[in-house]
Amino acid sequence: MATTNILGPARSRVDGPLKVTGRAKYAVEFVVPQCSYAWPVESNIAKGKITAIDSKAAQAAPGVLKILTHENAPKIKKASGGMMKGIPGEQRNPLSDDEVYYAGQYVALVVARTIEQARYAASLVRVSYAPEEPLLNMEDAEHKAKKPKKNNDEHVQLTKGDVESALQNHDLVRLEQTYYTPTETHNPIEMSGTIAQWDGDKKLNVWDATQFVKGVQNLLAESFDLEVENVRVVSPFVGGAFGCKGATWPHVLLAAMAAKATGTPVKFHLPRKLMFTGTGHRTPTRQTLTMAATTDGKLQAIRHVSDTLTSPVAEFTESCGARSTGLMYACPAIRVEETVFPVNIATPTFMRAPGECPGTFALECALDELSYLLQMDPVQLRLTNHADNHPTKDVPFSAKHLKEAYQLGAEKFGWSKREAMHSKMRDGNLLVGWGMATATYPAHKMSAAAKATLRADGSALVQCATHDLGTGAYTAFTQISSEQLGVPFEKVTFELGKSDFPFGPVAGGSNSTGTVGTAIHEVALLLHGALADLAIADSKSSLHGAKKDDIAMVVPGRIGFKNDSAKSDSYTDILRRAGKDAIAVESKLGAPEENKKLAFQSWGAQFCEVKIDPLLPRVQVTRFVSVINGGRIVNEKTARSQIMGGVVMGIGMALTEETAYDPKTGMPVTANLADYHVPTNADIPPIEVHFVGEPDFAFNPIGARGLGEIGITGTAAAVANAVYHATGKRVRDLPITPDKLM
């Protein structure tokens, strides 16, 4: 089961020069003439009704064009959206009534000539409320709790075998613990923002920082009752997203409403503070893991009960149990229960590996605890319970190479030198701890289409309404286009980020490389077919009169007979003889082929070393090794960066990140980068990334399963497990701040 050559060339980013020279234009950097600026007024209560809005002073302030409230805002329709049609961030339209559902909700919007004028005028708006008692935590919202059946079409309440009787079997080793993760907030460098410009009543141009241009397009068309093609959304570069730009949030609708109401283009660019209420966050979680295993480490039962929050204006489930315990280990009895509590706090959303990330924290810490009870090596415990088949779907996993990941990770890390007992390893005065965890993330398949134009000079242009969130997608798609079309890398241009292009799905669920890669594969076949048509009809071609089905690309730049590749013709000769400057083809948007006989999932092994000064127990991560099995790796360099980024974010989750709320108002009190602590360079050690496995051609013709999210999974558990190994202290509530180790 050796690793085959899965690494694509480590190309540097094709958009790198544009970015480092400042020529890459992000959504709100587009210059739209006569643009005005929006600044919101936010509710400072968590629940209640607006009784009055006094905007006289604000209206009289310099530069003010309009103040929108629920009393005068343009009425728009409630768009339903869908996975292919846009994801509404909230079920309620902004400024649609006098209700307040959470602190930070937009209750008015000032539009002025300059951003300073808008901000100043917003400070003058006086809003009166009839406050009601808000629900701010799980205990408050107990009576409103729901157990959703499904999340994105996947079951979230799972039952397999007889969990209860296994848990009562006294011959088994049993463990039960509860783990907590706090609210975490995405903090991309580029804050969300939208410019909306009406062209008459029926056409709308939008520049938006988004993971889903087609979704924004469709939701705006639905909301404002426009023809879809009359809404144009542009988003060529995105400065990080992590999930917070996947849904269409109220500010996008408000920008378009304000532009309509003022008759000017309007820019609504969120300041950092509003990123904590206006574009989602990761819900806090409470997860209780109960497991029973034989004395030689065979799991007999796992129960994973997870509790998470949502808001009154959204349905969101952070599916912790189903997306970890539901699929990670072979076990005869599995039970997953997920409960969602609606509270009067701003709406949560997907954040890098929603479900898997907190889910693997709880499960992988519990397994570590079990390893000490069993006196068994943590890697050995996982190997003992390795799942060849999906444990709750009971079909084999495709191209799963997790055992190799453990093995290579252990080797690179030097795991065999680990002291089995905790609190035994030292480096001078420092306590040293080694911990590990499993990483996992599903391979999601969505639908996309692409357009390819081949020019007589041998260059090609490929277009799809997909996205590059800073991940390297431009580069990976250029590489895939080059390989699939058979055109040199330097001669391919790949364009994305425009709703005018053929459909691209949300850049979420780590699906883009595989999904758009498949669309590129399909459009390449169409292009070769179009070239074949020309050659077959051309008496000067060596393919003249051939059957189209017998012809395919035989080497880059040439089509020829599949069974006799010596008979071939070059793209440029075919076009030249046909007297064409270029030919263009576009693939059709279809439903993705589903293979129900296999389960598609990516895997990895995370190994972490920490060092801790016992007198001031601040955790320093000093080494990290991540070994990933994600199918074929299109670009070794950008793929490595994706995994490193995930690990960095996981270290932040483990040690520093927490959005704290005022317990009275439900308003975030850490709504800036000074109080919300993301890791800096000084917090991050060298991160070693390796890839194992084989191309997963059962999944798609590119063989790639996607890498955006898996890097964060298991990471926080590996850190927490290392902290226990160093200190003998088990911290079950993140982040692991020094006070918890005193």
Residues within the interface to ligand MOS (CB under 6 A): 211, 243, 246, 350-352, 354, 508-509, 709
d(CA 559, CA 205): 41
CB nearer to ligand MOS: give 215 or 560: 215
Assigned token pair, 175 = 């463990």
- Of 122 and 712, the one with the shorter C-beta distance to ligand MOS is 712
One-letter amino acid identity for 542? S
Set 318, 404, 609, 709: catalytic member? 709
The CA distances from residue 157 to 151, 154, 315, in Å, are 10, 9, 16
Nearest to 442 by CA among 312, 630, 168: 630
Cβ at position 269, least distance to ligand MOS in Å = 21
Q: Which two tokens stand for residue 703?
A: 């063989």
Q: What is the DSSP secondary structure assignment for residue 513, as one 8-state letter?
A: H
Beta carbons within 8 Å of 493's beta carbon, 6+ residues apart: 459, 460, 461, 462, 478
Supply the minimum distance, in Å, between the C-beta of residue 390 and ligand MOS.
21
| 467: alpha, beta or left? (left if phi > 0; alpha if psi -120 to 50) | beta
CB of 356 to ligand MOS, least distance (A): 10
Task: Using alpha carbons, list the distances in angstroms from residue 473 to 19, 83, 496.
Answer: 14, 21, 9
Q: By CB neighbour count within 10 A (0-12 exposed, 13-18 middle, 19+ buried), where does 346 fall? A: buried
Q: Cα 416 to the chain's mean position, in Å?
A: 34
The smaller minimum CB distance to ligand MOS, of residues 40 and 188, is found at: 188
Nearer to ligand MOS, 281 or 640 (CB): 281
Least distance from ligand MOS to the Cβ atom of residue 242, Å: 6
Nearest position to ligand MOS, beta carbon: 243
Q: How far is the CB of 246 from ligand MOS (least distance, A)?
A: 5
Report cis status (omega within 30 of 0) of the bond before 735: yes
CB of 186 to ligand MOS, least distance (A): 8
With the CA atoms of 250, 256, 259 and 261 taken in that order, what torsion angle do they form, in degrees rounded to the nearest 10?
-80
CB-based contact 436:376 (threshold 8 Å): no
Say if CB 369 and CB 289 are below 8 A apart: no
Q: Strand pairing partners for 507?
A: none
Q: Do 516 and 504 contact (CB within 8 A), yes or no? A: yes
The least CB distance from residue 642 to ligand MOS, in Å, is: 12
Q: Which is nearer to ligand MOS, 243 or 486 (CB)?
A: 243
Strand order in the sheet with 619-629: 425-427, 430-442, 601-612, 619-629, 687-691
Contacts of 469 (CB under 8 A, 6+ apart): 211, 238, 240, 241, 242, 245, 507, 708
Indicate the residue among 69 and 183 with the shorter CB distance to ligand MOS: 183
Is the CB of 103 or the CB of 233 nearer to ligand MOS?
Answer: 233
d(CA 732, CA 132): 34
Closest approach of Cβ 396 to ligand MOS, in Å?
Answer: 25
704, β-bridge pairs: 631
**Which is closer to ligand MOS, CB of 83 or CB of 530?**
83
Is 609 marked active-site?
Answer: no
Residues in the chain: 742
Q: Which residues are catalytic?
A: 709
